[in-house]
Amino acid sequence: MSQFLEISGLCARIDADGQEKQILRGVDLSIPPGEVHVIMGPNGSGKSTLSYVLAGREDYEVTAGTATFHGQDLLAMEPEERAAAGLFLAFQSPIELPGVNNANFLRTAVNAVRRARGQDELDAVAFLKMAREAAKALSMAPDMLKRNVNVGFSGGEKKRNEVLQMTLLQPTFAILDETDSGLDVDALRIVAEGVNRLRAPTFSALVITHHQKLLDYLVPDRIHVMARGRIILSGGPELARQIDQEGYTKFLAEVA
């Protein structure tokens, strides 16, 4: 067993309008360092919930199971502690922060994480230089650093902004929740390249997607199929291509 990310028997529910709704029903997942894993699965199977639970969103109640990251009990940590430990979540729908300058937000975040990791904080000049280079590599317009966080951004701009944040925060484990949705082919390639630049023996990613296209660029190590709150099937990259062609129905029927 690797000591990187270990999820075992994870169950979680949410209180939706007074009704308890069980969403995760025993997720087992192990991601070794240096690998890109993919989760596919029909809508409502619990993929986004898994990402939220791993990132520490408080609306979800973990009812059973464990999740460890670098051997630490992930579920006992505050969201910002998980971020400092190297976990990053690229949101499916990035949140708007009116009036908050994007560069200022990024610098605050980067320095918060650097502080927590025992690194020196970056001054404004050093940070801006780094941010501009990273933005350029993602073909982002320079003014996106000056605009308010995600406010008035197009869908594609928001997704790129997520990848920009990921680049600057230098996580060791990134969850990308449908980062490819709503992107045109060129944007998709740029985003994938952004992720690929982070690839290293110490960096792993969990990619939630519906589309094979992204995987053409990312070249994953493992594919997992999630349904009804559990991982029902795992396999190599060929599994994604099979799903792309045949859909989920066949696999769901097999486990039913």
Residue ranges that bind another protein, judged by CB under 8 A: 55-59, 78-80, 82-84, 88-89, 91, 94-95, 97-101, 105, 108-110, 112-113, 116, 148, 165, 169
Q: Choose between 15 and 186: whose C-beta lies nearer to another protein.
A: 15
Min dist CB 83 to another protein, Å, is 4
Minimum distance from residue 200 beta carbon to another protein (Å): 20
The type of residue at 33 is P
With contact defined as beta carbons under 8 Å apart, do 4 and 204 qualify? yes
Shortest distance, position 249 Cβ to another protein, whole Å: 33
Q: Which is nearer to another protein, 99 or 142 (CB)?
A: 99
Residue in this structure with the two tokens 């009804």, named with its chain if needed:
228
Cβ distance to another protein smaller for residue 36 or 90: 90
Over the range 144-182, which residues count as b (16 or more CB within 10 Å of their CB) and which as e? bbebbbbeebeebbbbbbbbbbbbbbbbbbbbbbbbbbe
- Min dist CB 100 to another protein, Å, is 4
Q: Are 176 and 187 in contact (CB under 8 A)?
A: no
* Cβ proximity to another protein, 52 vs 248, nearer residue: 52
- Could you tell me the smallest distance in angstroms from the CB atom of residue 118 to another protein? 14
Identity of the residue, 158 or 222, whose beta carbon is nearer to another protein in the bound complex: 158
Enter the DSSP assignment of 86: T
Residue with tokens 């290293």: 200
Q: How far is 236 from 120, CA to CA, in rounded Å? A: 41
